[in-house]
Structure 1
Amino acid sequence: MTSATQHPPSPDSVLAAPVPRLIATDLDGTLLRDDKTVSDRTIAALADAEAAGVEVFFVTGRPARWMDVVAEHTAGHGMAICANGAAVYDLHRGRMLACYPLDARDALSVVAALRTTVPGTTFAVELTGGFAYEPEYPPYAPMPEALVAPVEELLGAAGGGQPVLKLLAKHPTMDPDVFLRTALAAAGQHAEITRSSPSALLEISGTGVSKATTLARCCADRGISAEEVVAFGDMPNDLAMLSWAGTSYAVANAHPDVLAATTHHTAANEDDGVARVIERILAAR
Structure 2
Amino acid sequence: MSTSAAPGFPYRLIATDLDGTLLRSDESVSRRTRETLAAATAAGAAHIVVTGRAVPWTRHILDDLGYDGLAVCGQGAQVYHAGEHRLLTSVTLDRQLAGVALAKIEAEVGPLYLAASRDGLDGEVLVGPGYAVTGTLPATPFTDASDLWTAPLNKIYIQHPTLTDDELAEAARKAAGGFVTVAMAGEGIVELLPLGLSKATGLSLAARRLGM
Query: Which range, TM-score by smaller chain?
Result: 0.7 to 0.9
Match of 2:78 in 1: 87
Match of 1:189 in 2: 178
Match of 1:21 in 2: 12
Instruction: From the two aligned structures, give the one with the greater helix fraction.
Output: 1
Give the C-alpha shift of residue 133 in structure 1. 2.8
Secondary structure of residue in 2 paired with 1:20: coil
Letter in 2 for 1:121: L
Secondary structure of residue in 2 paired with 1:28: coil
Secondary structure of residue in 1 paired with 2:186: coil
Match of 2:22 in 1: 31
Q: CA RMSD in A?
A: 2.1
Question: Could you tell me whether the CA contact under 8 Å between 2:180 and 2:193 is conserved in 1?
Answer: yes
What is the aligned counterpart of 2:147 among 146, 154, 159? 154
What is the aligned counterpart of 1:73 among 38, 51, 65? 65
1:106 maps onto 2:94 in alignment: no
Match of 1:176 in 2: 165
CA distance in 1 between partners of 2:34 and 2:92 (Å): 32
CA distance in 1 between partners of 2:194 and 2:126 (Å): 18
CA distance in 2 between partners of 1:222 and 1:93 (Å): 15
Render the CA deviation track for 1:29-66: whole Å, top value 9, x for unaligned. 12212222211110111111111110111100011121
Give the C-alpha shift of residue 143 in structure 1. 5.2
1:40 maps onto 2:31 in alignment: yes
Question: Could you tell me whether the CA contact under 8 Å between 1:108 and 1:155 is conserved in 2?
Answer: no
Render the CA deviation track for 1:123-142: whole Å, top value 9, x for unaligned. 11100221223233233458
CA distance in 2 between partners of 1:215 and 1:75 (Å): 17
Letter in 2 for 1:98: T
Secondary structure of residue in 2 paired with 1:195: strand
TM-score (norm 2): 0.85
Q: Which one scores higher on RCO, CA 8 angstroms, separation ≥ 6? A: 1
Q: Number of matched residues?
A: 199
Cα gap change, 1:198/1:57 in structure 2, threshold over 3 Å: closer, same or farther?
same
CA distance in 2 between partners of 1:156 and 1:166 (Å): 11
Give the C-alpha shift of residue 208 in structure 1. 1.8
